[in-house]
Amino acid sequence: MAPDLREFVRDVPDFPKPGILFRDLTPLMRDPDGWQEVIRQLSAVCERLQPDLIVGIESRGFIVGTALATAVRLGFVPVRKPGKLPGAVTGVDYALEYGSDRLEIASDALADGSKVLIIDDLLATGGTAAACAELVAAAGGELCGFGFVAELAALEGRRKLPDHQPVESLIIYA
């Protein structure tokens, strides 16, 4: 029987500020059985969606994305904050609740029109994942879906993502 992934997630009240309940996935990553189950379930998502590459969002998306890419024998492409990638980059600016941010990808990373699955640890408000989808298109890639370890459904992040794209979350918190 597969382990229940929720059992490995630690709730941290009032982090990073009062009133926020932080869902800490690091105990899940620390447990070999729990982590193996995450990768098994995300591998099944890959089997259904058939991506050519995994795109991971800085920084915890790197952890999940590289483990998944290795398991399913696909390449991995990082999406980073500004100034972290060498050479020519393609970037997209996006709005945050209070301000703005930017994501970048190597300009040639998706130039061949690869089908990509965007992977991150958590879907919350959806702004970063939506910006990453926009970035994939700007870089010449073809988005085939999103995969998240956990989702905070009350924040309605799915509403910001493209309607026609599959969104798979292994743990959903109402």
| Catalytic choice (58, 60, 102, 134) | 60
**Catalytic site includes residue 97:** yes
Angle at 71 between CA 69 and CA 72, to 5 degrees: 65
| Catalytic choice (37, 47, 48, 97) | 97
Which DSSP letter does residue 38 get?
A: H
**Catalytic site includes residue 40:** no
Please list, in sequence order, all residues whose beta carbon lies within 8 angstroms of the beta carbon of residue 10, skipping any fewer than 6 positions away: 23, 24, 26, 27
**How far separated are the first and last CA of the chain, in Å rounded?**
24
Active site amino acids:
60, 97
